[in-house]
A and B are shown apart, each in its own frame.
Chain A
Amino acid sequence: MSEMRDTRAGIEVRLEDLRRSYAGVTALDGLSLTLAPGELVALLGPSGCGKTTAMRLVAGLEEANSGRVMFAGKEVTGLPANKRDVGMVFQAYSLFPHMTAHQNVAFGLSLHKVGPDERKRRAGEMLELVGLSAYANRYAHQLSGGQQQRVALARALAIQPTVLLLDEPLSALDAKVRSRLRDEIRRVQLEVGTTTLFVTHDQEEALAIADRVGVMNKGRLEQLGSPTVIYSRPATPFVAEFVGLTNRLDGVVRDGEVEVRGMRLPLVQPNAANGPATALVRPEAVALAADSENVPGPLIGTVIAVSFLGATSRVTVDLGDTTILAQLPTSEASAHPAGTRVRLAIRKDPVLIAREETAPAEVN
C-alpha cells in the first residue's frame, strides 16, 4: 500500500490569478494560492464566496475566464477533468448506485488500465484504509451517509491522484459523524500525503483539519494563514467576524487606539483614521469580576445567560444598552450565575475595527 501512495504524494499546486464570472456576476475575482506539497489547505467562506468555484476550476469541471492552474510546475488549465488526475469527494453522495462499494473504488482503477488482480488488491486496501472492508459488497443505498463519504474518499484516493479535492464532504452528515469523519479524513490525508484542497463553510471544521486556512469573501482571498493566526490575528473585520464569535462594541478611534466604554484598546490597524468605529472584541478577551458596589458604570452589567460548553462557558452580560459575550473557564463562570452583577474587563490585545462601509454583509 505504501509504495503506491509514495509515488504521487505531495506535489505543489498553484492557482494564479484565477477569474470566473457567470452571466456578469463575478464568482472568483483573481484568486492566487499555492499549496505546498502534502499540505491540506481549507478554503473557508460563506455561500457564494467563490470557494467551490475555485475547487471546480482546479478539478477541471469548469473553465476559468483567465488565470492558470499549475500542478508541480506544469500548467493544467486547459486539461479536461478526466485528464487532470485529481481525486474528488463531493458534497452530495456521489457513489455509483449500481455498483458495490468495492466496485466503486475499483472503477477509477479500471479506467487507469490497472489489471483485475491489482485492481482488486488496491480497492481492498483502500477500503481497509477507511475502515470499511466489511462493507465491500454493499451498495450505496445500504450504507449510511458517513460510510458513503468514506467509500467516496477511498475511491478518490485509489487512483493515486496528484491532488485531492474535498468539496464540503461532511456537510450532509450529522454533527457527531461529521467530527469523527473529519478526524479520519485528516488521518488518511496525513498517511497518504496527497496535497489536498478542502472547501467548507464551517469554520470549526476548517480550523480543526487544515494546515492553513484561506478565508474567502466575494470571490477574493481575504486571509491565508495557519488556523491559529486566522483565529487570533484576523487580518480583516470580515475574517474576525466569520471565524469565531465576536462582540461588536461602539467606540471612537483616537491616535492609533480605540476608546470603548472608557477603555483604550490598541488597534490591529494603527493607521486607522480618527472617528467613530466598531471595535471587534473576542469573547475570550473579556474577563468578569463580581461587582458588589451598586454603582453603575460603562463596564458593569448583569449576567443574563450562561451557556455550558464543556471546559469553558459562555456568559452573556447585559450592559443596559447592549449585550456582551464573555468566554471563561467553566469554574470561573460558575461564580457568576444568571442575575448576578459583574464588572467587565477587556484584555488589552490589539483589536480590529469595522466601519459601516467595510462591514461585511454576511457574518457567522
Chain B
Amino acid sequence: MSNLPPRSLGVGSGGLLLGHEAATSRGAGSPRPGSLMRTRRIKLQIFRGVVFLIMGLFFLVPIGAMFEFSTRGDTMTSPRTLEAWTAIIKVPELTDAISVSLQLAAITSIAMLVLLLPTMVWVRLRIPQLNRILEFICLLPLTVPAIALVVGMVPLYRWIGVNLSDSILTLSFAYLILVLPYTYRTLDAGLAAIDLKTLTEAARSLGAGWGTVMLRVVVPNMSSAILNACLLAVALVLGEFTMANLLNFENLQVAILYIGLVSASTSIAVAVASLVFAFVLLMILSYVGRPKDRVARAEEIPGSLVPSMTGVSVLAELVDQPK
C-alpha cells in the first residue's frame, strides 16, 4: 500500500470520485501499481452505467411512447402534429385543473411544514418519549388504502361542504394526511443529521425566541430535507386521483381521465407534461438543496478540512457520472 500513488489512498473517502480519478489515471497512460484497484473501479463504472441505462430505459421508453402517441395525427398516414399539446392551454377545464392541482400542492406543502416541522422539533426536544407515537401516527396513512380513507372521509367532506366550503381546496386536508408518512420520514432524517438540542439551546441562550430558533437556525440547517419533503408532497398531490375522484372534485388527474374520454392524445400529452414537470422540479430541488456554494468556498481556502462532497452533492454526482 505504501508505494501506491497518493490518489489511490482516497478510495474510502468518496466512491463517486473514483470514476473521475480513474479517468485521470487512464489519461496518464503509464502502467502503475494498484491495477487491481483500477480494474475494480472500471467494473464499478460499467456496472453503474448498465444500471443507469436499464433504469433510464424503464422510465424513458413508456414516456417516449406516450410522447409519440400524443403527436400522432388523426390517421396513421397523417403527419405529426402538436395539436394535442396546444390543446392543453386551450381547454379551460384542463387549465383550471392544472391551476387547482398546483394550488393544492402548494397549500399541502406549506400546511405540512407548518404542522409537522415544529411538532417534530418540539417532540424531539421536550417530550422525546412521544417520538415513537408521533412516528406511528404519521406512518399510519401508509397502511390504510386510499379507498378506505376516502370512505371514511365522505361524511366528513359532506359536512365540510355544507358548513365550511365546497371548494376543491378543502381537499388539502385529506392530502395533508396522505403526504404525512413520506414527509415525516424525510424531515426525520433531516433532524437526525443536526445536533438539534445543542443548536437550539445555543440560539436560546443568545436571546432567540422559538420563532427565531425555527426560522434562523433549524430551517436553514435542514433545507435539503425540507425541500425534499416539499417535493414529495408536490409529486403526491399532482399525481393523486382516487380521493379527488371519489369525493367528486376535479383535479389534474381527474381532468386527464375525462379529457381522455374525448381526446386520448390530449390526455396523454398532459400526462407526459406532468411527468416532465415533476422531473424538472426534482432536478431544480436537488440542485437548490445542494450546498455547493459553501463547499465551493471551502475549497478555495488552502488547507481546509472540508470533505469535498456532501450527501446531496454525491447524489447529484451520481446523476452526472454517465454523461
CA distance A84 to B301 in the complex (A): 38
Which single member of B199, B206, B301, B304 contacts A108 (CB below 8 Å)?
B206
Interface residues on A, range: 20 to 34
| A98 close to B298 (CB less than 8 A) | no
Give every chain A residue within 8 A of B194 (Cβ-Cβ). 97
CA distance A29 to B203 in the complex (A): 29
Residue interface mask A80-97, B partner, CB < 8 A = 1: 111111111010111111
A-B contact count (CB 8 A): 80
Which single member of B206, B212, B216, B217 contacts A159 (CB below 8 Å)?
B206
Interface residues on B, range: 20 to 34
Which single member of A85, A98, A142, A152 contacts B301 (CB below 8 Å)?
A142
| A90 close to B301 (CB less than 8 A) | no
| B208 close to A61 (CB less than 8 A) | no
- Which residues of chain A in 97-156 are interfacial with respect to chain B, using CB atoms and an 8 Å cutoff? 97-98, 107-108, 111-112, 138-139, 141-142, 144, 152, 155-156
Which single member of B199, B205, B221 contacts A86 (CB below 8 Å)?
B205
B92 is an interface residue with CB less than 8 A from chain A: no
| B209 close to A82 (CB less than 8 A) | yes
CA distance A107 to B221 in the complex (A): 15
**A63 CB → nearest B CB, Å:** 12
CA distance A88 to B208 in the complex (A): 13
B28 is an interface residue with CB less than 8 A from chain A: no
| A82 close to B305 (CB less than 8 A) | no
B202 is an interface residue with CB less than 8 A from chain A: yes
A354 is an interface residue with CB less than 8 A from chain B: no
CA distance A92 to B301 in the complex (A): 25
| B305 close to A155 (CB less than 8 A) | no
Given contacts A92-B195, A92-B198, A144-B305, contact A81 B205 (CB under 8 A): yes
Give every chain A residue within 8 A of B305 (Cβ-Cβ). 141-142, 144
Q: A94-B199, A112-B207, A155-B202 are in contact. List 10 more A-B contacts (CB 8 A).
A: A59-B205, A81-B205, A82-B205, A90-B201, A95-B202, A98-B294, A111-B208, A138-B301, A156-B205, A159-B207
Binding site for B on A (CB under 8 A): 59-61, 80-88, 90, 92-98, 107-108, 111-112, 138-139, 141-142, 144, 152, 155-156, 159, 165
